[in-house]
Amino acid sequence: MNSDDQLMLEFQQGAREAFVELFERYREPIYGFFRRRLDHPARAEELAQECFLALLQNVQRYEPRASFRNYLYGIAIHLVAAERRKAGREVVENEKLDSRAVEGNAAENSDAGIWVRKALGHLDNSEREILMLREYEQLSYGEIAAVLRMPVDTVRSRLFRARAALKDQLMPVK
């Protein structure tokens, strides 16, 4: 099986199938990335589309300096940041996260899922992002550090704090 980077390079050479393969691999993860961070499924889908379109349009500028995952999630992170700036959500992020847990797609989430969303909403923005990238996108510490442009040690310590805080939220000491 070809690696992501190899597929991207093949696509750069004009292989349509390579992109289709990449799209198949990352369609759901990228949608999940946006969906867990945004209120509305439709908007999450639009941004996921934009993420892949950005990949399409800038294929010739791609250089395999870091992993393809870094590149792709780097684009996704910027799209989310732009979306938040546009919507002015930065300030009321926590409240929104709380409310969307109930209003958004409650049907798709179990009670446990709702609690997780609510608990995530109480975390510090940076710590929450690191934790989500680790748990849901399965990025390594190094990849998270590259995407968020911070030292690996910082990623590890913040991840530890985030997990500790989340554990306190979800699993109070008996």
Partner 1 sequence: MERHAQHAFDAEEVMAYLDGELEPRRASALAAHLVSCGECQEVAQGFRALSERMLNFEVEHPSAGMNETVLAALDSGKSSSESNAKDAVAHKGWNWRRVFARPRNWAIACAITAVTILAIAIPHTFRERSLPINGRSFTNLVTLERETPADKADHNGLFHGLHNGSEAAFSIDGQAANGELHAPETVGPMIVQTASLNVLATNYDEASAAIEKLAAAHGGYVEKLDAKAQTGNARELSAALRIPSKQLDGFLADVRKLGHVEEENRSNEEVGDQYVDLQARLKSARATEQRLIELLGTRTGKLQDVLEAERELARIRGAIESMQGQSTILVHRVNYATVQVELSEEYRQVLGTGSVSTGTKIRNALVEGFTNLEEGAVGLVVFLFSYGPSLLFWMAIVLVPGWFAWKRFRVRAQG
By CB under 8 A, name the binding residues for partner 1. Answer: 16, 19-20, 23, 27-28, 31-32, 35-36, 41, 45-46, 48-54, 56-58, 61, 74-75, 78-79, 82, 105, 108-110, 112-113, 115-117, 120, 134-136, 140-141, 149, 156-157, 159-160, 163-164, 166-167, 170-171
The candidate with the shortest Cα–Cα distance to 54, out of 73, 37, 35, is 73
Q: Considering the complex, what minimum distance in angstroms separates the CB of residue 127 from partner 1?
A: 13
Tokens of 123: 């975390």
Give first-to-last CA distance, the chain, whole Å.
Answer: 47
Rank residues 9 and 120 by Cβ distance to partner 1 and give the closer one: 120
| 136 Cβ contact partners less than 8 Å away, ≥ 6 residues apart | 32, 33, 36
Rank residues 28 and 95 by Cβ distance to partner 1 and give the closer one: 28
Q: Considering the complex, what minimum distance in angstroms separates the CB of residue 16 from partner 1?
A: 7
Q: Are 162 and 124 in contact (CB under 8 A)?
A: yes
Q: Considering the complex, what minimum distance in angstroms separates the CB of residue 92 from partner 1?
A: 20
Q: Considering the complex, what minimum distance in angstroms separates the CB of residue 96 from partner 1?
A: 15
Amino acid at 155: V
User: What's the CA gap between 68 and 172, in Å, rounded?
Assistant: 39
